[in-house]
Chains A and B, each alone.
Chain A
Amino acid sequence: MTWHTWRQHRNQAYFGAAALVAFTVLLLITGLQMASQYHSVLAACSAATSNCGSLADLTLGSPPVIFLVILTLVVPALLGVFWGAPLVARELETGTSQFAWMQSVTRRHWLAVKTGWILLAAAAWAGAVSALVTWWSSPENALKHQNFRPGQFDVQGIVPVGYALFAVALGIMAGTLVRRTLPALAITLGAFAALRVLIAYFVRPHYLAPITTITSLTSHAGPAGSYWSLALGNVDPNGQMLASNGLSNYLGYGHESITIPSVCREVFGGQQPGRAAEKLASCLSAHGYRGFITYQPASRYWPFQGIETGIFVILAAALIAVTAIVLKRRDA
């Protein structure tokens, strides 16, 4: 079966390898540039010892490459659509499954070998892309501490491997159930995107109970490192939390905007709110207001990566098991 699988999918393998090589070359060149740029600015900063504005203002990478890196978000979906969905569906569609199933191999063995290799290839491919993106993003991660946020969390570390395994397994199952490539492809894309959004926005924040810290409104110090902010806002003198961003809704905080006591409203005067922010903060502070932030600390980045990868790997295994049962029981 291994020989058979290789002969059937070797063109896909060549194409995948070529695309990976091109991507690697691009990220290596731009990544090395960014790293040296970052390190030279960092060196200049520590030499100057003064407040290092140039480091905060530093923008790394050119927009097309940044865009390409963001685009790696769809790599698992593409693998599911182009490798997973046709794997069984195309054979059922063209009848070649009947050729394969009347050789001396059981359908379960046939599925196991094909699925095994394609999942392995998808994991390797997605893992390679993710490793490159993670390395490429390291100066940016060190500078901006944003890699725990949705969008960046999803393309770095080990989660892309979990997504890829799940997407390919989903494609294989959809193809087996609907027996045709094109609908299987659409189902894979739709179901994968829906589940990813559902988990990223509604399940992931709760893997571990978030931490809420009360802060002073006048200091700018937030949690250390690459934390993931889930909600922030003000605490009024009665201890009532008034969150100011959307996620707070389901985290259980009220969602009205900050109510400002009338004394402090005058601070705005005719001025722009941005200019008045400092004055407003000290006014609110003086009237007993404080700030709060609800977040997942930076130390939980890898536990979260592990939990999310685990969820998708378990789901992928379940989908493959269902596919095997369907193929065994159903008429060929």
Chain B
Amino acid sequence: MIACQDAAHPVIETRGLSKRYRGVTALSEATITVPEGRISALVGPNGAGKTTLLRLLGGLANPSGGDVTVLGGTPRQDPAFLASIGFLPQGIPLYRRFTATDHIGAGAHLNPRWDAASVRQRLKSLDIPLGQAAGTLSGGQRAQLALALTLAKRPRLLLLDEPVAALDPLARRHFLATLAEAVAADGLTVVLSSHLVADLERICDHLILLAASRVQLCGDIDTLLAEHQVLVGPRKDTTAIEKAHTLVQAVRTARQTTLLIRLGGPAIDPAFETADVGFEELVLGYMGQAATPATSHLTTVGEGQ
């Protein structure tokens, strides 16, 4: 497990953060830091604790253990704190019978800072009708409306829980473009959970990887990529490599061994070719490592031959 505690101006800082629901552990000992101005990708398999972490950060759930600091304070029921957080929950809940205009009106009455003009402008540029009930909009339109409403609060931290899960590729691209634009304009910090690693790679510069309710990896994406390497070589004993570095994942076939390692030093076995690791490879490597024994055999194909 790699914790990141390296930021000078953390917007999010947790230490040993845990959450149990009726005896089931949803999040265990999570220690993370997200510096200001980052777009953090929150990835992990289903049930890894992504939603739980976001809910703890937004104050929608109370921790069972550990500490959480968001924007300098504990997430709490307080208008000033709530005003500084933009939270887009999974499933994008909107009032089915409210039109976009109704939602804008509601937001205006419920928030101290409210940029109604920005929502109207965003929706207009996306051709989303203002007078149509939200229940009758398409999934992409609903997601865009929800994002626009979340941004209209002018939050300092944006927490997005799988906002693009239900969208087609084009709608997804539009959504992420809107998000990237807003972030560039306002300099806000974002934590975005998604299964779509390729999408995340395009817009994120920070990574939190959860698996089996634990943080497996956390930090600046470029730094993480530089710290890891893929070794490809003949089928041979790799004990020496495993001792010098941290083995994340090994794929062994009859003729070839592919290792994903976290570098512990410069010494690399000359029998192995080294290659830089890609974002997706890194993510899948760690997710595979944390997988249960029932599925981990998939990463060691042919080992017994």
Q: Kindly specify which of A43-51, A91-99, A167-175 makes contact with the partner chain.
A: A91-99
- Neighbouring B residues of A103 by C-beta, 8 Å: 82, 106-107, 110-111, 153
Q: Does A332 contact B (CB under 8 A)?
A: yes
At the interface, yes or no: B77 with Cβ under 8 Å from chain A?
yes
Q: Which of A2, A3, A331 has the most CB of B within 10 A?
A: A331
CB pair A7 B111 closer than 8 Å: no
A4 touches B109 (CB 8 A): yes
> Secondary structure at chain A's binding surface: helix, strand, loop or mixed?
helix
Tell me the chain B residues, 44-63 only, with Cβ under 8 Å from chain A: 55, 58, 60-62
Q: How large is the interface on A (under 10, 10 to 19, 20 to 34, 35 or more residues)?
A: 20 to 34
Take A1-B109, A3-B106, A7-B98 as given contacts and tell me if A105 and B79 are in contact as well, using a CB distance cutoff of 8 Å: yes
Asked whether any CB of chain B lies closer than 8 Å to the CB of A106, the reply is: yes
Task: Compute how far the CA of A102 lies from the CA of B55 in the bound complex, rounded to whole angstroms.
Answer: 11
Pairwise interchain contact B93-A95, C-beta atoms closer than 8 A: yes
Interface-side segment among B83-91, B191-199, B219-227, B245-253: B83-91
Roughly how many angstroms separate A332 CA and B109 CA in the complex, as a whole number? 21
A96 to B91, CA, bound (A): 10
Task: Tell me how far the C-beta of A65 lies from the nearest C-beta in chain B, rounded to whole angstroms.
Answer: 36
Closest CB of chain A to B41's CB: distance in Å? Answer: 21
Write out the residue numbers on chain A whose beta carbons fall within 8 Å of the beta carbon of B67: none
- Expressed in whole angstroms, the Cα–Cα distance for A328 and B60 within the complex equals 10
B79 contacts A106, CB within 8 Å?
yes
Asked whether any CB of chain A lies closer than 8 Å to the CB of B272, the reply is no
B236 at the binding interface (Cβ < 8 Å):
no
State the CA gap A4–B61 with chains docked (Å): 24
Which residues of B sit under 8 angstroms from A100, Cβ to Cβ? 110
B109 touches A96 (CB 8 A): no
Over the window 78-111 of chain A, the binary record of Cβ atoms lying under 8 Å from chain B Cβ atoms (1 yes, 0 no) is 0000000000000000111111111111111100
Partner of A94, one of B82, B83, B93, B109: B93
Asked if A54 CB lies within 8 Å of chain B CBs, one says no
**CB-contact partner of B82 in A1, A3, A104, A331, under 8 A:** A104
Taking a contact as CB atoms under 8 Å apart, the answer to whether B83 and A102 are in contact is no
Which one, B61, B93, B109, contacts A99 given CB within 8 A? B93
Given the contacts A4-B106, A331-B61, A102 and B89 also touching, CB distance less than 8 Å:
yes
Q: Which residues of A contact B29 (CB under 8 A)?
A: none
Closest to A94 in B: B93
Most B CB within 10 A of own CB, among A94, A96, A102, A107: A102
Q: Which residues of A have CB within 8 Å of B109?
A: 1-4
Complex contact B110–A105 (CB within 8 A): yes
Asked if residues B89 and A98 are in contact (CB atoms below 8 Å), the reply is yes
Chain A, residue nearest B98 (CB)? A7
Assess the B55–A95 pair: CB atoms within 8 A.
no
Tell me the minimal C-beta distance from B86 to chain A in angstroms: 8
B112 / chain A contacts, CB cutoff of 8 Å: 104
What is the minimal beta-carbon distance from B280 to any residue of chain A, in angstroms? 31
CA distance A97 to B93 in the complex (A): 8
Residues of B within 8 A of A7 (CB): 98, 102, 105-106
Q: Do A332 and B55 touch across chains, with their CB atoms under 8 A apart?
A: yes
A331:B98 contact, CB within 8 angstroms: no
Q: Is B94 on the interface with A (CB-CB < 8 A)? A: yes
Q: Contacts A7-B98, A96-B95, A98-B89; is A104 near B111 (CB within 8 Å)? A: yes
How far apart sit A328 and B95, CA to CA, in the bound complex (Å)? 22
Task: Determine if A240 is an interface residue (Cβ-Cβ < 8 Å).
Answer: no
A97 to B82, CA, bound (A): 14
B85: A residues at CB distance < 8 A: 102
Please state if B94 and A99 are interface contacts (CB–CB under 8 Å): yes
Task: Check A299 for interface membership: any CB of B closer than 8 A.
Answer: no
Contact residues of A between 316 and 332, Cβ < 8 Å to B? 328-329, 331-332
In the bound complex, residues from chain B placing their C-beta under 8 Å from that of A329 are 62
Contacting residues, chain B, for A249 (C-beta < 8 A)? none
Interface members, chain A 52-92 (any B CB < 8 Å) = none
Smallest Cβ distance from B135 to chain A, in angstroms? 10
Contacts of B86 in A (CB 8 A): 102
- Verify if A8 is at the interface (C-beta below 8 Å from B): yes
Q: How far is the CA of A95 from the CA of B92 in the complex (A)?
A: 8
Bound CA span A96–B96, Å:
9
Q: List 18 A-B contacts (CB under 8 A).
A: A1-B110, A3-B109, A4-B109, A7-B98, A8-B95, A96-B93, A97-B93, A98-B60, A101-B60, A102-B58, A102-B60, A102-B89, A103-B111, A104-B111, A104-B112, A106-B78, A106-B79, A109-B79
The 5 A-B residue pairs with the shortest CB-CB distance in the complex, in nearest-first order: A95-B93, A103-B110, A104-B83, A332-B60, A331-B61
Interface positions of B (Cβ within 8 A of A): 55, 58, 60-62, 77-80, 82-83, 85-87, 89, 91, 93-96, 98, 102, 105-107, 109-112, 150, 153
Q: A96-B94, A102-B86 are in contact. List 17 more A-B contacts (CB 8 A).
A: A2-B109, A3-B105, A4-B106, A7-B106, A8-B95, A94-B93, A96-B93, A99-B93, A102-B58, A102-B150, A103-B153, A104-B80, A104-B83, A104-B112, A332-B55, A332-B60, A332-B61
